[in-house]
Amino acid sequence: MEIFYEFLNTTGFAMMTWGNAIMILVGITFVSLAIMKDYEPLLLLPIGFGAIVGNIPSIQGMALNVYDEGSVLSYLYFGVSKGILPPIIFLGIGAMTDFSTMLSNPKLVLLGAAAQVGIFLTLIGALYMGFNPSEAGAIGIIGGADGPTAIFLASKLAPHLLGSIAIAAYSYMALVPVIQPPIMKLLTTKKERLIRMKAPRHVSQREKIIFPIAAFLVASLIAPGALVLIGMLFLGNLLKESCVTERLANTARNAMIDIVTIFLGFSVGASTQAQTFLTPQSLLIFGLGALSFAIATAGGILFAKLMNLFIREKINPLIGAAGVSAVPDSARVVQIVGQKEDPHNFLLMHAMAPNVAGVIGSAICAGILWSVLVK
């Protein structure tokens, strides 16, 4: 009987805290949002289930959770905590991305730079609240709206905030269709939302092959800290565009990215144990993350409006909102908001240009912050 009582004391029910229960509910909410609302299901589902797994109380002395040395979960989490998995995701993204629209209208690249203002203003906000510079940099990168980049930088600058930053980044990416439209409508007039843009020109295969090599050289020579992310992104794209490594490109954009997404999502979720996650700090990070997304969206739109003052062929300022990477969700949001005004206006292909430029921009920002803030 004594053994039975001892066993009962080691069950999850006996050791469950209110914090664990809340986090399990958060995990269930994520899974429900993924399944019922289709909000970033590829990420929210593994993250949500990971949060449930990570909040089952473990027995003292048994290596079970991600923070226990030698546990299975700690090995899965290793790829996250050391920043290994994000570059592999970038390889897959590169192998999926078609830079044609960006190559056909190079001025739209600048929108991808303008939207990065969210990162730096949030960094200032985080410093103002009392976070140290490294933590502030890691929090600011949430404004890049790029999950892998946020995880990569957080693992380098503020590993103790990794769980909160990753969850905030992916949650807001899932909420792009909710956060962006009100800001887009607030900052544009009906006339601006009705602007139609010229169809993109045909881009030759040679341009598509030369671009990843040249853009890598420019970006990594300017910000060497972005070398790993940018390098993998453009390697993936070169595999795709070269037309001689179709098998590798296929693997990178299908099987490989899927496997890595499962491990990354699950282990990030499992790292959100109530004891380390449910802190006032996490709440501040969530608040700053939302602010960061809003500023980044506004930055892109306002810069598009500014560009319209100087260029002859006007651009629809809505596409500036796609500068916040979040590929391809923010481009899709631009298309939806644009079509509400004019059902025959197709902005998706135009929005993809600042969207992919935003991916490059946020990776460069991560490189800059890492170079400047590394101790």
Q: Taking a C-beta distance cutoff of 8 angstroms, is the pair 202, 63 a contact?
A: no
Q: Which is nearer to other proteins, 44 or 288 (CB)?
A: 288
Task: Pick between residue 29 and residue 371 the one whose CB is nearest to other proteins.
Answer: 371
Q: Which of 178, 199, 218, 259 binds other proteins (CB under 8 A)?
A: 218
Positive or negative, the CA dihedral 103, 104, 106, 107 is: negative
What is the rounded distance in angstroms from the CA atom of residue 220 to the CA atom of residue 199?
31
Q: Is 215 in the site for other proteins (CB under 8 A)?
A: yes
| Of positions 102, 169, 260, 324, contacts other proteins by CB under 8 A | 102
Total residues contacting other proteins by CB under 8 A comes to: 54
* DSSP of 110-175: HHHHHTTHHHHHHHHHHHHTT--HHHHHHHHGGGG--HHHHHHHHHHH-GGGHHHHHHHHHHHHHT
* Backbone phi and psi for residue 206, each to the nearest 5 degrees, phi listed first: -60, -40
Answer for which of 77, 211, 234, 293 binds other proteins (CB under 8 A) is 211
Q: How many CB atoms lie within 10 A of CB 36?
A: 9
Looking at residues 302 to 361 of the shown chain, list those that interact with other proteins (rule: CB under 8 A). Answer: 357, 360-361
Note whether 69 and 54 are within 8 A (CB): no
Mask 221-250, x = binds other proteins (CB under 8 A)? -xx-------------------xx-x----
Tokens, residue 8: 């009962």
Element (H, E) at 4: helix 2-10
Whether the Cβ atoms of residue 35 and residue 45 lie closer than 8 Å to each other = yes
CA atoms within 13 Å, Cβ hemisphere of 95:
25
Q: Which amino acid type is present at position 311?
A: I
Of the candidate residues 8, 14, 21, 107, the single one contacting other proteins (CB under 8 A): 107
Q: How far is the CB of 342 from other proteins (least distance, A)?
A: 25
CB closer to other proteins out of 207 and 342: 207
Cα 269 to Cα 44: distance, rounded to the nearest angstrom? 9
CB 252 → other proteins: shortest distance, Å?
17
Quick check: 142 binds other proteins (CB under 8 A)? no
- The site string for other proteins over 51-90 (x = CB under 8 A, - otherwise) reads ----------------------------------------
Q: Which residues make Cβ contacts (< 8 Å) with residue 240, sequence separation at least 6? A: 94, 95, 96, 97, 249, 253
Give the separation between CA 242 and CA 11, rounded to whole angstroms.
55
Residue number with CB closer to other proteins (93 or 103) = 103
Nearer to other proteins, 16 or 209 (CB): 209
- What is the per-residue binding string for other proteins in 257-296, x denoting contact by CB under 8 A? -----------------------xx--x------------
Which listed residue (44, 139, 167, 219) binds other proteins by CB under 8 A? 219
**Minimum Å distance from CB 354 to other proteins?**
10
The C-alpha atoms of residue 104 and residue 288 are separated, in whole angstroms, by 35
| Binding residues for other proteins (CB under 8 A) | 102-103, 106-107, 109-110, 112-114, 116-117, 119-121, 123-124, 127-133, 135-137, 202, 204-207, 210-211, 214-215, 218-219, 222-223, 243-244, 246, 280-281, 284, 357, 360-361, 364-365, 368-369, 372-373
